[in-house]
Structure 1
Amino acid sequence: MIYIYNDYGGTHTTVLAAAFHLKKLPRNVELSKEQILNTAYFNKLKASDMGKIIFHGVDDEGHSVYTVGRGNSKFFVPGLKNLFEILEKGIGTGERIIFSNTSPTVPLSMTFGGLFSRRLGIDFIGVPLLVKGAKQASAQIVHLVEQTKEIAKQSDQTVVVLENKKDFLYS
């Protein structure tokens, strides 16, 4: 099975989701600034990295974990879904793919932090907002990862796309 966490930029909630999924970050304690900023690819990707599927590791069940920034495109994930279905029919890879949208976990502070840091290059404003947002969102991201893994186990579809609307998450 392949997990692909996706959102707009692919550099904040997605990489945190991958790190939680791979147990590289603790789940039941507040993350420190250092843990957040030292997470692979956190706040490091640029607009030119959108669409690149980035490998983060293999989980304890042998499943590969990736992230991708899809930008504003509403067609990116459906297009990939279609491509993987075509490949499965054509060459029969036997792999199941789970796309999980992390966007619903993004708090306002992270949105503004990403704008200041990634878009405008003003890190002294953006990075503290990103850290604050990551701390605010971490429990929701952990929940999203656990729900994603549970749905993946229960589904028999070759390609599963989870939009993860706000009501999917707990408050």
Structure 2
Amino acid sequence: MIYIYNDYAGTHSTALAAAYHLKQLPQSERKLTTEEILQVNYFNLLTKSDFGKIIFHGTDEEGNSVYSIGRKRNKFVVPALKELTLLLQGKYHFEEKIVFSNTSPTVPIAMSLGGFFSRGLGLDFIGVPLLVIGAKQCCDNIFRLVENTKQVGRTTFNENVVILENEIYK
């Protein structure tokens, strides 16, 4: 199975989701520390040139690949990837299930503003503290989103491509 976490930039909530998925962060709903957040692979490191790139984060304990993608505001990226996947599955007869999971609903305003200042304007001295505040505000929701995503991946047997738009998991 392949998991692909997606959001606007692909470098904040998706990086945290991939880290939770791969058990690189504590497996609980507790608030993360600043150090834990800033040590997450790809957290606040991707740039505009990385939009649309599928970034590999690792393989989970069940042998599933975990990726992320920044799709900007384009609502057609994930449906287009689904159609491409179905086309390739039909033509080349592979059965690998792919789960697309949208992390955007977990993003608080502090994280959005932090991403704008840090990634958009290059003002890390303003953006990074806001990103950390935002990550602390939403890390429990991201943890629950990841747990739900993995559960859906394990239990949807009749679909080869699953798209989860998600909601805030409280």
| TM tier, smaller | over 0.9
Report sequence identity in percent: 58
The one-letter code sitting in structure 2 at the alignment partner of 1:72 is: R
The answer for the alignment partner of 1:100 in structure 2 is 101
Q: Distance in 1 between matches of 2:87 and 2:151?
A: 25
The one-letter code sitting in structure 1 at the alignment partner of 2:161 is: V
The answer for the alignment partner of 1:49 in structure 2 is 50
The answer for the alignment partner of 1:26 in structure 2 is 26
The answer for the alignment partner of 2:81 in structure 1 is 80
Paired residues of 1:4 and 1:97 also in contact (CA < 8 A): yes
Q: Distance in 2 between matches of 1:27 and 1:118?
A: 28
Q: Distance in 2 between matches of 1:75 and 1:30?
A: 33
Q: CA offsets, 1:66-112, max 9 Å, x none? A: 00000111110000000000000000122000000000000110011
Secondary structure of the residue aligned to 1:67 is strand
Q: Distance in 1 between matches of 2:27 and 2:121?
A: 31
The answer for the alignment partner of 2:16 in structure 1 is 16
TM-score of the superposition, structure 1-length normalised?
A: 0.96
How does 1:1-171 map onto structure 2 within 5 Å?
Answer: 1-28=1-28, 29-156=30-157, 157-166=159-168, 169-170=169-170
Q: Distance in 2 between matches of 1:31 and 1:143?
A: 14
Q: Distance in 2 between matches of 1:47 and 1:165?
A: 26
Secondary structure of the residue aligned to 1:17 is helix
- Structure 1 runs of 4+ with >3 Å offset: none
Secondary structure of the residue aligned to 1:161 is strand
Secondary structure of the residue aligned to 2:100 is strand
RMSD: 0.9
Paired residues of 1:110 and 1:130 also in contact (CA < 8 A): yes
Q: CA offsets, 1:41-81, max 9 Å, x none? A: 00000111001001011100110000000011111000000
Q: Distance in 1 between matches of 2:163 and 2:117?
A: 30
Report the count of equivalent residues.
Answer: 168
- Which 5+ residue runs of structure 2 have no aligned equivalent? none
Paired residues of 1:101 and 1:163 also in contact (CA < 8 A): yes
Q: Distance in 2 between matches of 1:92 and 1:32?
A: 45
Q: Distance in 2 between matches of 1:54 and 1:118?
A: 17
Q: Distance in 1 between matches of 2:140 and 2:45?
A: 22
Secondary structure of the residue aligned to 2:11 is coil
TM-score of the superposition, structure 2-length normalised?
A: 0.96
The one-letter code sitting in structure 2 at the alignment partner of 1:152 is: G
- Which 5+ residue runs of structure 1 have no aligned equivalent? none
